Amino acid sequence: MSKKDATIGVLALQGAVELHRPHIEACGADFKAVKTQKQFEDIDAFILPGGESTTMLRLIRNFGLWDALAENFKTKPVWGICAGSILMAEKVTNPAQDSFGILPFTVERNGYGRQLESHHSDINGYKVSFIRAPIITDIGKDVEILAEHEGSPVWVQKGNKIASTFHPELTEDYPSPMHRHFIDLVRSGLSCRFPSLIYT
């Protein structure tokens, strides 16, 4: 298979990794499951998947990946989904925990309640799943809200960093508009010689 113009790495320590493949490939990009520093360097952008943020944090620490991820996050596009969005936040509550602080927002874990409060919803015409999802309770003033649900932002962006508190990848209608949006963003950075200028 020929090399595609963008390789999207999905952090593959825990959570919903493989489900992103058909969405990414439907956008004409390459999917790669990544879990080593070398693999992080070979990709153009990261998806931090949904799963369990405390488990992911523990594995990131245990495998000594924190610094390598933080370094890559400085320049590359990142999209965090549910647990992945919690890893990106500036501040995490219920309870407080570490995060990379790469998007200025505060997130309350399990904000809708427990598993029974998991639900589907329609976001921008696409069916998505909220699974023990966090709620974004505060955002920095320069963060763009791409979608809201029940009065709170659920899909936010600043520069090349995006967070969604819902899962679009479980829906088998490829690609989701959220994957399309992220991969368009990745491509716009790759075609620019000075991506740091358009991302700030």
Residues near ligand GLN (CB under 6 A) = 50-53, 82-83, 86, 109-110, 131-132
Quickly count: other Cβ atoms within 10 Å of residue 200's Cβ: 8
> Catalytic site residue 169?
yes
Q: Which of 149, 169, 179, 181 does the annotation list as catalytic?
A: 169
Find the shortest distance in angstroms from Cβ 104 to ligand GLN.
19
Strands 144-149 and 152-158, sheet pairing: antiparallel
> Catalytic site residue 172?
no
Let me know: does 76 contact 8? Beta carbons within 8 Å: no
Find the shortest distance in angstroms from Cβ 57 to ligand GLN.
9
Quick one: 132 or 158, whose CB is closer to ligand GLN?
A: 132
Q: Which of 82, 108, 149, 181 does the annotation list as catalytic?
A: 82
> Catalytic site residue 167?
yes
Quickly count: other Cβ atoms within 10 Å of residue 95's Cβ: 7
Helix (H) or strand (E) holding 108: strand 103-108
Active site residues: 82, 167, 169
